[in-house]
Chain A
Amino acid sequence: MRAWHFFKYYLHDLRKQKKRAGLTILALVWGTFSILMLLAFGEGITKQLDKARLGLGENIMIVWGGQTSVTFQGLPRGRKIWMRPDDDKLLERMIPEIKHAGGEYHRWGVDLIRGQTILSQHVTGIPPSFEEMRTHYPSAGGRMINDVDVEKRRRVVCLGYELKNKLFGEEDPVGRRIDISGIPFTVIGCGQDKMQMGMYGGPDVDLAAIPVTTFKAIFGDQYFDNMVIQVHDINQSEYVKRRVYEILGAKYKFSPDDEDALGIWDTIEGMKEFNAMMFGIQIFLGIVGGMTLLIAGVGVANIMYVVVRERTREIGIKMATGAKRRHIMNQFILEALLVCFTGGAIGVVISALTCYLLGLIPVGTGNNPMNWLGRPTISTTIGVIVATILAAIGIFSGLFPARKAATINPVESLRYE
C-alpha cells in the first residue's frame, strides 16, 4: 500500500512536469547507454584480444638458445648455446611444474608444390604437444601431428588455414599429396582460421607443420631452433624460468644467472601486463561513461528541486502529522533513485538490443577490424557497475533537494499555495 502510494505520487510528479521529466529521463537513458556501450565495447575488445592472445598459446614461454655473457668454469664468454633434440624431454622430466615442453625446427623458403602451384613457405617440425601448447587445433575433418607420426617419422603435413587456401582453395585437402622440398607428403589436416596476436617466425595460418622427427631426418638439423614450455600454474612461471636456466646451465656449462645464455619470451608475463592494461582501459571507459551519466544527475537534481517546491504543502502536511526529517528525506531520495532507475532501465534495454543487433552483423574470422570492434558484450560485472553508478547518482542528486525538503518550515509550507 505504502509502496503503491509512493509510486502513484512518483507518476503524478512526472506527469506534472512532462517535458522536464522527459528530458531528464532522456539524459539518463543516453548516459546509461553511453557507459554501457563503452564498457561493452571494452569488454568485447578484451575478449577478442584474449582470444587472439590464445592464438599463440596459453601459459607458455618460448626459449631460444643464446650466447653466454659471463665466463663460467673456465669457459669464455660469447659461446653460443644450442639446444639439443632431447632437451625438451629433459626439462619435462626435471621440472614437474612443466605441463608440456617441446622443441621445434624452422626452415623458411622451402618449396611446396601441388600440381602447378609452387610456393616458397615456412615449414616447421613440431611434436604433438603443440596442438595444445600452441593451440594448433585442426579444423573438422582433419587431425594434427600425433605420437605415431613422430615415432615413425611419417611424411605427413598439417597446413595452416591460409596456406591450405593457397594450395587447395575450397577443396578438402585431407588425404591429398603435396611435395615439400621434393619429397611427397600426405596432408592430414589443416589449422583453423585463428586470430593471433603474438608470433615468432610467422603467423600459424601460413605454416606447414610436419613431425619433428621427419623434419630432422629430411633437413638434418642438429639443434632445436626453439622450445616451447607450458606451465601448469601461471604463478610458477618465474620459478620454472629459473629452473630452466639451472638445468640447461648445468648441461651446457653456463652460469644460471647468465640471462643472455638463453632467450626466454614469457607470454605469461605479457598476459599479466595485458590484463592490467585492459583493466585500466575499462576503468577509463567507465569514467568517461560515468561523466556522461553525471550530467544526467544534474537534471535529476533539477527535477527534484521542482518536485520539492511543488509538494511543499504535502511536506507540511506530513510534518504536521509527525513526519521526521528523515521520513521526508528518504521519500525524495527514493524518488530521485526511481527516476534514475527508470532512465537506467530504458538505457539498459536499448544497450542490450544494440549489442544483440551488432552481434548479428557477420564479422568473419581472422584478423580484421570488425572482429576486434564488432562484439560488444554486456557482462554481469558491467551491469553491477552501471547499477551502482546509477544508484550513487540517484542518491547524490536526490540528497540536496531532499535536504531542502526536510528543513522546510512546516508552518510556512502549510500556508504555501
Chain B
Amino acid sequence: MQGIHKVYDTGKVKVDALKGIDLQIQRGTFAAIIGPSGSGKSTLMNILGCLDVPTSGVYEFNGERVDGLHHNRLAEIRNEQVGFVFQNFNLLPYATALENVELPLIFKGVATKRRHARAVELLEKVGLGERVSHQAIELSGGEMQRVSIARALANDPSLILADEPTGNLDTASGRGIIELFEELWHKGHTIMIITHDPNIPKRTERVIHIKDGLLYEVGNGNGSH
C-alpha cells in the first residue's frame, strides 16, 4: 500500500482522513492498529478490506491492484479474501447464528448442503456448537462476536479485519475473543485489529500507530514498542 489518500467530501468541508499511508502487511501477520478517535483507523481498515476505495494511491492486495476495480470485483474480494469483525457485531438480528455464518457462503454460491456443514463446523470452531439455531438477538455480546468471527472465517479469507472487536464486550468475553484471534493467528490467519484497548497491542506481533491520518510509527508488538 503506497501513498494512500482518502478525502471525504461532505459538500461544505473536505476532510483528509488519510494523508498518504505507506504500509505493507505480510501474510500471517497479527497486527494492531491503534490511534486516537478520528485518526483514520477505521478509514484505513475500510480501505484495507475493500469496503471503501482510496481517493488516490496504490493498493495491492494479494498481488492484485485494488484501487479502481469494478464494484463487482471488490465484492468478490470482500467475499472470498476478507473477513470483517465489527465492534457492534453487525449480525442480521432476526437470522439464526447459522444463517449469519452462511451469508458469505450464499454470496459465493456454495450449495446448501456444503454451506450448512461449513457453517456448523465454523460455529463449533468458535465454541458455539450449541447455539447454531439461536437467533442473533438471543445471544450474548461475546457469543455474537464469536458468530461474527465465524462468519468472517466462512470463505477462509487471507485477511481478517477487526474493528474494536472487544469494544462492546465485558472484560472476560473480550479476553476470550482476543484468545480466539490468537488461536487463529497461530493457525496461519492474517489478522489486523483496530483497538483502543491497551492490552491488545501487547499481544500482537506488530503495532501500527495512526495519528491525524498519518502512519507515524510501526512498532513491534509484544509490549516492546
Q: Which residues of A contact B (CB under 8 A)?
A: 1-2, 5, 8-9, 12, 313-314, 316-325, 327, 409-411, 414
Known A-B contacts A317-B92, A324-B75; A1 and B112 likewise in contact (beta carbons under 8 Å): yes
Known A-B contacts A2-B106, A9-B94; A321 and B112 likewise in contact (beta carbons under 8 Å): no
Known A-B contacts A1-B99, A411-B52, A414-B86; A321 and B78 likewise in contact (beta carbons under 8 Å): yes
| B-chain residues with CB within 8 Å of residue A12 when the two chains form the complex | 94
B92 partner, pick from A314, A319, A325, A409, beta carbons under 8 A: A314
A-B residue pair count with CB separations less than 8 angstroms: 65
Q: Can you list, as one digit per residue, whether each of B90-117 has a CB less than 8 Å from chain A (1) or not (0)?
A: 1110110001000110111000100000
Q: Is the CB of B94 within 8 A of A316?
A: no
Report A100 CB to chain B, min CB distance, Å. 66
| A-chain residues with CB within 8 Å of residue B5 when the two chains form the complex | none
Q: Is the CB of A320 within 8 A of B90?
A: yes
Q: Nearest CB to that of A11 among chain B residues?
A: B94
Q: Is the CB of A411 within 8 A of B46?
A: yes
Q: Nearest CB to that of A5 among chain B residues?
A: B99
| A191 CA / B20 CA spacing, docked (Å) | 99
Report B72 CB to chain A, min CB distance, Å. 5
Q: Nearest CB to that of B76 among chain A residues?
A: A322
Q: Nearest CB to that of A311 among chain B residues?
A: B92
Q: Is the CB of A325 within 8 A of B90?
A: no
* Beta-carbon contacts under 8 Å, B151-209 to A: 151, 154-155
- Top 8 closest pairs, chain A to chain B, by CB: A322-B79, A322-B107, A321-B104, A324-B75, A321-B103, A322-B78, A317-B90, A411-B52
Report B67 CB to chain A, min CB distance, Å. 16
Known A-B contacts A319-B78, A322-B79, A414-B86; A5 and B107 likewise in contact (beta carbons under 8 Å): no
Question: What are 14 A-B contacts with C-beta separation under 8 Å?
Answer: A5-B95, A8-B95, A12-B94, A314-B92, A317-B90, A319-B51, A320-B51, A320-B78, A321-B151, A322-B78, A322-B107, A323-B75, A324-B71, A325-B75
Q: Is B59 an interface residue (CB 8 A)?
A: no
Q: Nearest CB to that of B81 among chain A residues?
A: A322
Known A-B contacts A322-B107, A324-B75; A317 and B51 likewise in contact (beta carbons under 8 Å): no
Q: Nearest CB to that of B46 among chain A residues?
A: A411
Q: Nearest CB to that of A4 among chain B residues?
A: B99
Q: Give the size category of B's interface with A.
A: 20 to 34
Report B19 CB to chain A, min CB distance, Å. 18
Q: Is the CB of A324 within 8 A of B95?
A: no
Q: Can you list, as one digit per residue, whether each of B106-138 has a CB less than 8 Å from chain A (1) or not (0)?
A: 111000100000000000000000000000000
| B-chain residues with CB within 8 Å of residue A318 when the two chains form the complex | 103, 107
Q: Is the CB of B71 within 8 A of A325?
A: yes
Q: Is the CB of B107 within 8 A of A327?
A: yes
| A-chain residues with CB within 8 Å of residue B52 when the two chains form the complex | 409-411
Q: Is the CB of B51 within 8 A of A322?
A: no
Q: Which residues of B contact A (CB under 8 A)?
A: 46, 49, 51-52, 71-72, 75-76, 78-80, 84, 86, 90-92, 94-95, 99, 103-104, 106-108, 112, 151, 154-155
Known A-B contacts A2-B106, A316-B90; A321 and B95 likewise in contact (beta carbons under 8 Å): no
B107 partner, pick from A314, A324, A411, beta carbons under 8 A: A324
With A5-B95, A322-B155 known, 7 other A-B pairs at CB within 8 A are A5-B99, A317-B91, A319-B78, A322-B107, A324-B71, A410-B51, A410-B52
Q: Nearest CB to that of A314 among chain B residues?
A: B92
| A314 CA / B90 CA spacing, docked (Å) | 8
Report B198 CB to chain A, min CB distance, Å. 25
Known A-B contacts A12-B94, A314-B92, A327-B107; A319 and B112 likewise in contact (beta carbons under 8 Å): no
| B-chain residues with CB within 8 Å of residue A320 when the two chains form the complex | 49, 51, 78, 84, 90
Which residue among B75, B103, B151 has the maximum number of chain A CB atoms within 10 Å of its CB? B75
| A389 CA / B99 CA spacing, docked (Å) | 34
Q: Nearest CB to that of B106 among chain A residues?
A: A2
| A-chain residues with CB within 8 Å of residue B103 when the two chains form the complex | 317-318, 321
Q: Nearest CB to that of B91 among chain A residues?
A: A317
| B-chain residues with CB within 8 Å of residue A319 when the two chains form the complex | 51, 75, 78
Report A364 CB to chain B, min CB distance, Å. 58
Q: Nearest CB to that of A409 among chain B residues?
A: B52
| A187 CA / B35 CA spacing, docked (Å) | 111
Q: Is the CB of B80 within 8 A of A322?
A: yes
Report B218 CB to chain A, min CB distance, Å. 24
| B-chain residues with CB within 8 Å of residue A409 when the two chains form the complex | 52
Report B155 CB to chain A, min CB distance, Å. 8
| A-chain residues with CB within 8 Å of residue B80 when the two chains form the complex | 322
| A321 CA / B153 CA spacing, docked (Å) | 10
Report A317 CB to chain B, min CB distance, Å. 5
| A409 CA / B8 CA spacing, docked (Å) | 13
| B-chain residues with CB within 8 Å of residue A316 when the two chains form the complex | 90
Report A316 CB to chain B, min CB distance, Å. 7
A325 partner, pick from B72, B94, B99, beta carbons under 8 A: B72
Q: Is the CB of B90 within 8 A of A322?
A: no
Q: Nearest CB to that of A327 among chain B residues?
A: B107
Report A314 CB to chain B, min CB distance, Å. 6
Q: Is the CB of A324 within 8 A of B84?
A: no
Report A109 CB to chain B, min CB distance, Å. 85
| A9 CA / B95 CA spacing, docked (Å) | 9
| A321 CA / B94 CA spacing, docked (Å) | 17
| A-chain residues with CB within 8 Å of residue B108 when the two chains form the complex | 322
Q: Nearest CB to that of A412 among chain B residues?
A: B52
| B-chain residues with CB within 8 Å of residue A321 when the two chains form the complex | 78-79, 84, 103-104, 107, 151, 154
